[in-house]
């Protein structure tokens, strides 16, 4: 065993781990020696990620929609049967859709809550009992700066991500004396498909060029750039390490100083 692999023997489950920030987190966890289960809706896409990363460590894919409790429970059994109880849960699955508040219908509202907040709730309920029994666990919720501040035209997304941060803080207090920590990482605009979709949306609705739209998003960051997925992954994995056991109930902004 590599002495630098501080998570050797631990089973980490990452939702939405097939691409973007999730895939970066998976790579970082494998580098620390964890066995990693990647969970997402598209098994074919997940299996591509597994194929790319299997040389780096023990990795498997299970398919489920985080909004569907029964499907999640079945996937959980599959994951645990292969790699043992989940020691580290990374709630990364998320979705962002923009609309003015007046055009945010009930279906869009429910969709944002279901994916971003309910999915975090369901996965955490499935993971927590084994962590409490073991007396050790790490839960990291990938929220957003939209969980710490307001943004126009994404009220449903902001509400859901604020909910994730609230869940993080409340649960952290419940489990504080039981060897389990619960934290959130809140990225600013990050080089991912969600941001690429946002750029395309700005282009289609405003007529700006892709370069102008990208610069507009990057301008929110005092460093005048988009955050990179690996930067978010490094923060997530740090919270999982043994030396981070005093970090609990925190919402760390990875955003170049946009939110303080």
Catalytic (active-site) positions: 157
Q: How far apart are CA 152 and CA 99, in angstroms?
A: 9
Q: How far apart are CA 146 and CA 195, in angstroms?
A: 13
Cα four-point dihedral sign 133, 138, 141, 142: negative
SS (H, E, C) the chain: CCCCCCCCCCEEEEECCCCHHHHHHHHHHHHCCCEEEEEECCHHHHHHHHHHHHHHCCEEEEECCCCCHHHHHHHHHHHHHHHCCCCEEEECCCCCCCECHHHCCHHHHHHHHHHHHHHHHHHHHHHHHHHHHHCCEEEEEECCHHHCCCCCCEHHHHHHHHHHHHHHHHHHHHHCCCCEEEEEEEECCECCHHHHHHHHHHHHHHCCCHHHHHHHHHCCCCCCCCECHHHHHHHHHHHHCHHHCCCCCCEEEECCCCCC
């Amino acid at each position: 065993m590599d002495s630098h692999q501080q998570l050797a023997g631990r089973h980490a489950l990452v939702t939405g781990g097939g691409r973007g920030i999730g895939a970066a987190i998976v790579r970082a966890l494998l580098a620390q020696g964890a066995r990693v289960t990647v969970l997402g809706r598209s098994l074919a896409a997940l299996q591509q990620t597994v194929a790319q990363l299997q040389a780096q460590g023990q990795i498997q894919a299970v398919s489920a929609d985080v909004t569907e409790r029964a499907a999640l429970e079945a996937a959980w059994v599959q994951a645990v049967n292969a790699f043992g109880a989940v020691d580290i849960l990374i709630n990364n699955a998320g979705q962002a859709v923009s609309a003015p508040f007046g055009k945010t219908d009930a279906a869009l509202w429910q969709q944002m809550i279901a994916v971003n907040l309910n999915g975090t709730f369901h996965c955490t309920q499935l993971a927590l009992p084994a962590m409490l029994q073991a007396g050790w666990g790490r839960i990291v919720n990938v929220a957003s700066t939209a969980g710490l501040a307001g943004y126009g035209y994404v009220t449903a997304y902001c509400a859901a991500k604020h909910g994730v941060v609230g869940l993080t803080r409340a649960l952290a207090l419940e489990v504080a004396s039981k060897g389990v920590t619960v934290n959130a990482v809140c990225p600013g605009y990050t080089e991912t498909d969600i941001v690429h979709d946002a750029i395309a949306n700005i282009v289609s609705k405003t007529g700006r060029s892709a370069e102008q739209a990208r610069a507009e998003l990057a301008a929110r960051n005092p460093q005048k750039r988009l955050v990179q997925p690996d930067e978010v992954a490094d923060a997530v994995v740090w919270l999982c390490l043994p030396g981070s056991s005093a970090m609990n109930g925190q919402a760390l902004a990875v955003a170049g100083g946009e939110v303080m």
